[in-house]
Structure 1
């Protein structure tokens, strides 16, 4: 059965865009970018802004949750926008900071209960359908930030939230002296079964003396940032762990995505375990407050398009790339943060650096 939404698209556009991956269609259908941007501005204009006290009275608080003010700027007022829901009955509320625009789940998960989200065979998710094309995604992101990942010989790398070790496997193949940490014990076990030289540990960086000592040339966050309940504390730790000239690589869902603006609460970035949602407009505040010197971004046009397994006509590919660059950078945000000016000088020649 064809959904009403798809019927509308068929009436407007016919079938000419059906072979374009679902996540890229909003960028190639004529006029849709402008419509979605208008739709977003209208939502923000209409959504009420309320005090945190009033918000507390409206929203129930779960056993492992707490209410928050904005982590980026401290604003306590709330602009409720979305109520994502999913299988097995999970539901949460997403608000926007009316001062800086940061999107976050509120109430949020208390840090000491974060492990509850990953304790029950989380590795089955990481190694099932989700993992099918993960290493391809890693390679595409590493290529977009060349030469940072080209040769790891003599360089130390920490993969924070390493899961089942799929990236650590690539890192050791590229010569990095690589280690990882994760909160899922079964994922760590699977990672160590997969790895030859790299090593995965259960827990936080401070729990492992080898990691706590720091001196890393690269720290990577692959789809981890949205899971952090105390990002300021974590990023201060990442900055401390980096050696002079070090970089922090981030891949996360993009809170400026046209897909978010188009689909609201059903956006693919609103998953059960995601807590906070960043964009190129809000990430710099986090990096600035934790001592980083600069940040650069790389656009995301879609994994299958970039890998060449989805072939678009030259006209559609040019339209896709143009709209991604003009609007939001794509549904995933690729960013690399520079610990200091030495890092900018060493790795920033081919990148557009935003100084912090």
Structure 2
């Protein structure tokens, strides 16, 4: 038994062992407050370095480059974490922007070397438990935003970073005129084998005429945002592809998660191919800079909890929901961005929309 689990047993006993690991920090008494204090102390103790000083004391890998904050342009660096994938052999540094709070990998991966982070085999993503859990997460996220994504009749959808087409299959079933785009030819080939009416394309947004023409009512990014080395450039292109009244859906790991504050460098969101880490405080800055009119967020309580395959006692269910909502939205971040005022008026009636102008 690990040291962390042993300490947890000493404090809480075994009564929370049946609760999924990701939700325990939200339901154990007093833990939310303790983790928030722990996070504030971590920020206070972390040094803030000049860009040049940080560069001089940090090794730069062959495929890496030093970057400054993409959201606000701040050059100072506040080193926070050093995640490591022991079995996979990767390690990197995560810094915090002391001006806006954005967390990002630095040194980061050069855009022209991004493919070095990905394996060439995709068979494991086609079927089995992975496909089932991913499609469940897609459905739960779509449902969290109500009628916006419940029916695709007469609406065009683009899935950016479509991978092997797991979401495009669901979009077909909901009636969307759907297309996908991905830089991996292997993934696109696998996607087109499973699709009926939707079509997946290989390449960049500007390389595929059917995509570059725009006019999409919905654009989706499933676990893609954290992997973009130039998010401002990408989101400007995506905004230009939306039709009037269009929306953009994002699912990504949440940098405000209590799990991050509890587990630090061991957080599940720190994976070998993640470059930047967003929260409900930093996503609006990205959207504001790239021309969006508003954004709404949906709390994430955990896949099995939302799907009712994990049934919590009512007392713990209330505590989970309250703590998730108070502390920044759960371990995953679910955001719906509105292209313009027309989109806010059409789709924002039952959502808490944060205006960006």
Q: TM-score, normalised by structure 2?
A: 0.97
1:175-214 matched pairs, under 5 angstroms: 175-214=175-214
Contact 1:126/1:163 (<8 A) preserved:
no
- 2:172 and 2:83 map into 1 onto residues whose CA distance is 38
**Deviation sequence 1:112-158 (CA, Å, 0-9, x none):** 22122235225635756543411111000010011111110111000
Other-structure match for 1:46:
45
Which range is displaced more, 61-70 or 267-276?
61-70
**Deviation sequence 1:227-262 (CA, Å, 0-9, x none):** 000000000011000000000000000000000000
1:12-161 matched pairs, under 5 angstroms: 12-86=11-85, 87-118=87-118, 120-122=120-122, 124-125=124-125, 130-161=130-161
Other-structure match for 2:255:
255
Contact 2:152/2:171 (<8 A) preserved:
yes
Contact 2:217/2:245 (<8 A) preserved:
yes
Contact 1:257/1:328 (<8 A) preserved:
yes
SS in 2 for 1:72: coil
Other-structure match for 2:333:
333
- 2:269 and 2:341 map into 1 onto residues whose CA distance is 33
Could you tell me how far 1:293 is from its partner in structure 2? Answer: 0.2
**Aligned-residue RMSD, C-alpha:** 1.1
Relative to structure 1, the CA distance from residue 78 to residue 122 in structure 2 (aligned partners, 3 Å threshold; closer, same or farther) is farther
Relative to structure 1, the CA distance from residue 39 to residue 284 in structure 2 (aligned partners, 3 Å threshold; closer, same or farther) is same
Could you tell me how far 1:281 is from its partner in structure 2? Answer: 0.4
Relative to structure 1, the CA distance from residue 191 to residue 351 in structure 2 (aligned partners, 3 Å threshold; closer, same or farther) is same
Structure 2: segments with no counterpart, 5+ residues: none
Other-structure match for 2:242:
242
- 2:198 and 2:45 map into 1 onto residues whose CA distance is 51
Could you tell me how far 1:88 is from its partner in structure 2? Answer: 2.5
Contact 1:127/1:164 (<8 A) preserved:
no
Could you tell me how far 1:52 is from its partner in structure 2? Answer: 1.1
- 1:44 and 1:33 map into 2 onto residues whose CA distance is 17
SS in 2 for 1:147: helix
Which range is displaced more, 86-95 or 294-303?
86-95
SS in 1 for 2:333: strand
SS in 1 for 2:148: coil
Other-structure match for 1:3:
2
- 2:150 and 2:341 map into 1 onto residues whose CA distance is 21
- 1:242 and 1:116 map into 2 onto residues whose CA distance is 30
Q: TM-score, normalised by structure 1?
A: 0.98
Relative to structure 1, the CA distance from residue 126 to residue 62 in structure 2 (aligned partners, 3 Å threshold; closer, same or farther) is farther
Contact 2:249/2:337 (<8 A) preserved:
yes
- 2:172 and 2:269 map into 1 onto residues whose CA distance is 29
SS in 2 for 1:191: helix
SS in 2 for 1:88: coil
Other-structure match for 2:352:
352
Structure 1: segments with no counterpart, 5+ residues: none
SS in 2 for 1:162: coil
